[in-house]
Structure 1
Amino acid sequence: MNSSDFDREWRLGELFDARMLERVAPPLAELLGADLAILDRDGAPLWGRPAAEARREALVLEIEPAGYLASSTADPARLHSAGRMFTALLRAEARYRMASALHIEAITQDFETLKLEHSRLLASEARYRKLSEELEARVEAQVADLEARQQQLYQAEKLASIGQLAAGTAHEINNPLGFVSSNLGSFKLYLDKFAALHGRLAEGEAAWQSLDLDFVLEDGAELLADCTTGLERIARIVADLKSFSNEGRPPTELADLNGCLQHAVSVVGTPPAGIQLHTSLAPLPQLACNPGHLNQVFFSLIRNAMQAIQDAGRPGTVGIASEASPAGIHIRIADDGVGMSPAQLAKAFEPFYTTRAIGTGTGLGLSTARNIVLAHHGSIELASTPGAGTTATLFFPTAP
Structure 2
Amino acid sequence: MRSFEDDPKLLDMLSPERLKRLLSLIETLSSHSLRLEEKYLKEAEPVEFNLECLAWLHCPGRPDVQQAAARLLEFILMYVGKYRLAANMHHDTTRASYAELERQNIALQVSEARFRLLSEELQTRVDAQVKIIEKTQRQLYESARLRAVGQLAAGVAHEINNPVGFISSNLRVASDYLNEISEKLPDDKNTHLMLEDFRALLSESVSGARRIATIVTDLKTFSNIDQADFTPCSLNALLGTTCHLLQAEHKATLPLRMELTELSPLAGYPAKLSQAFYNILDNAVKALEKEGGEIRIISRQHQATQEIIIEDNGCGIPQDVQACVFDPFFTTRPVGAGSGLGLTVARDVIAAHEGEIQLDSQEGQGTRITLRFWNK
TM-score, normalised with respect to structure 1: 0.49
Structure 1 segment 142-291 matched on structure 2, within 5 A: 142-157=127-142, 178-182=163-167, 233=214, 236-237=217-218, 239-243=220-224, 249=229, 257-265=235-243, 267-268=245-246, 270=248, 272-284=251-263
Kindly indicate whether the alpha-carbon contact (under 8 Å) linking 1:308 and 1:339 is maintained by their aligned counterparts in 2. yes
Q: In structure 2, what is the Cα distance between the partners aligned to 1:58 and 1:157?
A: 109
Q: Which of these residues, 376, 382, 390, is aligned with residue 360 of structure 2?
A: 382
Aligned to 1:340: 316
Structure with greater Cα Rg: 1
Q: Deviations over 1:228-277 (max 9, x none)?
A: 9899757733541333x898525xx7765445434533553547424243
Unaligned runs of 5+ in 2: 10-41, 55-83, 175-205
Counterpart of 1:137 in 2: which secondary structure? Answer: helix
TM-score, normalised with respect to structure 2: 0.52
Does the alignment pair 1:323 with 2:300? yes
What amino acid is the match of 1:340? G
Counterpart of 1:5 in 2: which secondary structure? Answer: coil
Does the alignment pair 1:296 with 2:281? no
CA RMSD of aligned residues (A): 5.5
Aligned to 1:137: 122
What amino acid is the match of 1:241? F
Q: In structure 1, what is the Cα distance between the partners aligned to 2:349 and 2:115?
A: 36
Structure 1 segment 61-80 matched on structure 2, within 5 A: 66=52
Query: For the structure 1 residues 394 and 358, does the alpha-carbon distance in structure 2 shift closer, same or farther, using more than 3 Å as the test?
Result: same
Query: For the structure 1 residues 293 and 151, does the alpha-carbon distance in structure 2 shift closer, same or farther, using more than 3 Å as the test?
Result: farther
Kindly indicate whether the alpha-carbon contact (under 8 Å) linking 2:261 and 2:300 is maintained by their aligned counterparts in 1. yes
Q: In structure 1, what is the Cα distance between the partners aligned to 2:155 and 2:337?
A: 19
What amino acid is the match of 1:275? L
What amino acid is the match of 2:287? A
Q: In structure 2, what is the Cα distance between the partners aligned to 1:256 and 1:396?
A: 12
Query: For the structure 1 residues 182 and 373, does the alpha-carbon distance in structure 2 shift closer, same or farther, using more than 3 Å as the test?
Result: closer
Q: In structure 2, what is the Cα distance between the partners aligned to 1:286 and 1:169?
A: 26
Does the alignment pair 1:362 with 2:347? no
Counterpart of 1:156 in 2: which secondary structure? Answer: helix
Counterpart of 1:359 in 2: which secondary structure? Answer: coil
Q: In structure 1, what is the Cα distance between the partners aligned to 2:305 and 2:265?
A: 10
Counterpart of 2:4 in 1: which secondary structure? Answer: helix
TM-aligned CA deviation for residue 323 of structure 1: 1.5
Counterpart of 1:278 in 2: which secondary structure? Answer: strand
Query: For the structure 1 residues 247 and 285, does the alpha-carbon distance in structure 2 shift closer, same or farther, using more than 3 Å as the test?
Result: closer
Kindly indicate whether the alpha-carbon contact (under 8 Å) linking 1:240 and 1:266 is maintained by their aligned counterparts in 2. no
Query: For the structure 1 residues 259 and 234, does the alpha-carbon distance in structure 2 shift closer, same or farther, using more than 3 Å as the test?
Result: closer
Query: For the structure 1 residues 170 and 303, does the alpha-carbon distance in structure 2 shift closer, same or farther, using more than 3 Å as the test?
Result: farther
Query: For the structure 1 residues 356 and 179, does the alpha-carbon distance in structure 2 shift closer, same or farther, using more than 3 Å as the test?
Result: same
Aligned to 1:46: none
TM-aligned CA deviation for residue 299 of structure 1: 1.2
Q: Deviations over 1:136-190 (max 9, x none)?
A: 334323321222122222443565688899999999998755532435778999x
Aligned to 2:72: none
Kindly indicate whether the alpha-carbon contact (under 8 Å) linking 1:173 and 1:234 is maintained by their aligned counterparts in 2. no
Q: How many residues align?
A: 278
Query: For the structure 1 residues 296 and 111, does the alpha-carbon distance in structure 2 shift closer, same or farther, using more than 3 Å as the test?
Result: farther
TM-aligned CA deviation for residue 333 of structure 1: 0.8
Query: For the structure 1 residues 287 and 317, does the alpha-carbon distance in structure 2 shift closer, same or farther, using more than 3 Å as the test?
Result: same
TM-aligned CA deviation for residue 381 of structure 1: 0.9
TM-aligned CA deviation for residue 126 of structure 1: 3.1
Q: Deviations over 1:297-330 (max 9, x none)?
A: 2111122223334x44x46543211223456333
Unaligned runs of 5+ in 1: 12-54, 69-97, 190-224
Counterpart of 1:390 in 2: which secondary structure? Answer: strand
Query: For the structure 1 residues 231 and 131, does the alpha-carbon distance in structure 2 shift closer, same or farther, using more than 3 Å as the test?
Result: same
What amino acid is the match of 2:258? T
What amino acid is the match of 1:382? D
